[in-house]
Amino acid sequence: MAANEKINDEEIGYYYMKLHDFDANDKLDGLELMQSMIHSIEHHHENQVNQTTVTNNIDNLSESVDYFLKECDLNSDGFIEFAEFKAYQAKIKKN
Ligand SMILES: [Ca+2]
Ligand SMILES: [Ca+2]
């Protein structure tokens, strides 16, 4: 059961990356990360989302993207590859 859960986590992570990998290079750059986070905010707020909510979050967003890149971009090339994303997922799961 635990093994299945792990596979599902990886599949979700992979799907999430592919969904926001707009130039299809199998890596997420800062802009793609930003889009994915805006997407998450919109999804989170669902019906009550409006443009102000998104705009108010842009400042926090660029900080979040910087932080995420610093934490997740293991080879410091400015892109998050799936392997790096997976390592990050494993790391936050431990905490
Ligand atoms: Ca990309
Ligand atoms: Ca990288």
What CATH topology corresponds to 2-94?
Recoverin; domain 1 (1.10.238)
pLDDT at site 10: 82
The residues spanned by each domain of the chain are: 2-94
DSSP per-residue codes, 19-38: HH-TT-SSEE-HHHHHHHHH
Which ligand has the minimum distance to the alpha carbon of residue 75? 2
What's the whole-model pTM score?
Answer: 0.73
**Res 55: pLDDT:** 66
- Comparing CA positions, the residue from 71, 69, 4, 87 lying closest to residue 30 is 69
The rounded Å distance from CA 11 to ligand 1 centre is 18
- Helix 2-20 to helix 82-94 angle, to the nearest 10 degrees? 130
pLDDT, tens digit, for every residue of 15-62? 889 999 999 999 999 999 998 888 877 776 665 556 666 666 677 888
Ligand 2 mean position to 90 CA, how many Å? 16
Mean pLDDT for the stretch of residues 73-89 = 94
